Amino acid sequence: MIFWFSQTSIAYKIGSFRIKENQLVQIGNHILKNNLVVAPMAGVTDRPFRQLCKKMGAGLAVSEMVTSNSLLYGSEKTKRRANHEGEVNPISVQIAGADPKMMAEAAKHNVDNGAQIIDINMGCPAKKICNVMAGSALLKDEPLVSQILKAVVSAVDVPVTLKIRTGWDKQNRNAITIAKMAEDIGIQALAMHGRTRACAYMGEAEYDTIAAVKQAINIPLIANGDITTPEKAKYVLDYTGADAVMIGRAAQGRPWIFREIDHYLKTGEHLLAPTVDEIHTVMLEHLHDLYDFYGDLTGMRMARKHISWYTKGLAGSAQFRHTMNTLQTIELQLQAINDFFAELKAKNDRLVYIDNDADGAESNASEALAA
């Protein structure tokens, strides 16, 4: 049974801006509050970050991938990834692996631990994952894809979603075949990154294959890849006809991007940049969540990369980021942030980015490949 549902769409114009309203994405029994999804990112979309993004406007946030290897269920890392205490619904957990039976077991295990949606990773190009023929490497083996999807869908009674790339490489863009197969098997939404496995993170994401897949299936399609601004989100939605967009790297250090895009899609207008005070508070709350979630030492270390993303491009941040990585206690970390924000506030009430470091994208991409 297909649970895709779209309320009557009302389109109207403000100036030259065309707005569509009341198109709700439904995955199983979950109606999303909007069409903005946080991409699964290993090492990033932990519970504190997912909660924050949902608070700041995302309709859905997919967890970091969880291994399907049951031998690791007891490990601290895997237990932490299965911890959803206090998380706003719907809770979507991504599983990764290449063995149908193990993937089915992993799906059951995560549902028992609170997952309300199971997402299958066939989109991640990380070597660690592809070397065991999981993640996007699976796209090469269509019969195995079919077995995994069937095994997982029949193992759980929550909706199962799938994340893929456009294909294995540019000569083998088999996304349409995989998408149709997924729909027939009972997958209830498909997220698609507009690159092949071989493209890794190079070049620009392409949206033609996503548009073609949208024409071929009836389940909700979530477009992903290089969406960094409200305008780009609107462009991708219009160009592909996708039902939702998924945002990864652009949300790092800027979780408020979701409310900015949401507002723009609904009104055609931009929100003002957030105030320095607001983001200072958001960041402190985020860091305290990280300390609570990981414990002081690991939390302090995990916080470093988020602090670096939050401050990238802000006045004086290069020196600040350098010093930050040498600080060894929570107290010093928090004090440095308070000092940095006090200086920032003396210059402006609102956040002003003076430099959108080009090296950000590269370092993120290599992190993803290592993930």
Nearer to ligand FMN, 253 or 276 (CB): 253
Burial 193-232 (b: 16+ CB within 10 A, else e): bbbbbebbbeeebbbebbbebbeebebbbbbbbbbbebee
Contact between 265 and ligand FMN by CB under 6 A: the answer reads no
Query: Where in 172-201 is the site for ligand FMN (CB under 6 A)?
Result: 193
What distance lies between CA 83 and its chain's CA centroid?
A: 18
Contact between 371 and ligand FMN by CB under 6 A: the answer reads yes
Distance of alpha carbon 346 from alpha carbon 333, whole angstroms: 20
Active site residue 53: no
> Which of 144, 122, 142 lies closest to 134, judged by CA?
122
Contact between 314 and ligand FMN by CB under 6 A: the answer reads no
Contact with ligand FMN (CB under 6 A) among 103, 155, 187, 227: 227
Contact with ligand FMN (CB under 6 A) among 250, 279, 300, 324: 250
Query: Where in 21-50 is the site for ligand FMN (CB under 6 A)?
Result: 39-44
From residue 269 to residue 308, the character string flagging contacts with ligand FMN as x (rule: CB under 6 A) and all else as - is ----------------------------------------
Distance of alpha carbon 183 from alpha carbon 283, whole angstroms: 40
Residue 214 vs residues 190, 218, 247: alpha-carbon distances, Å:
10, 8, 18
Nearer to ligand FMN, 139 or 250 (CB): 250
Q: What are the helix and strand counts (H, E) for the chain?
A: 14, 12
Residue 50 one-letter amino acid = R
Contact between 124 and ligand FMN by CB under 6 A: the answer reads yes
Nearer to ligand FMN, 303 or 344 (CB): 303
Contact with ligand FMN (CB under 6 A) among 247, 265, 290, 302: 247
Nearer to ligand FMN, 34 or 224 (CB): 224
Region near ligand FMN per CB under 6 A, out of 117-125, 137-145, 261-269, 332-340: 117-125
Contact between 94 and ligand FMN by CB under 6 A: the answer reads yes
Nearer to ligand FMN, 234 or 280 (CB): 234
Distance of alpha carbon 192 from alpha carbon 200, whole angstroms: 14
Cis peptide preceding 255, ω within 30 of 0: no
Burial class from Cβ neighbours inside 10 Å (0-12, 13-18, 19+) for residue 176 reads: middle
Residue 128: how many other CB atoms lie within 10 Å: 14
Contact with ligand FMN (CB under 6 A) among 50, 84, 163, 234: 163
Nearer to ligand FMN, 247 or 307 (CB): 247
Angle between helices 317-324 and 330-347 (to 10 degrees): 170
Residues at the contact surface with ligand FMN, assessed by CB under 6 A: 39-44, 64-65, 94, 121, 123-124, 163, 193, 224-227, 247-250, 364, 367-368, 371
Catalytic residue list: 124
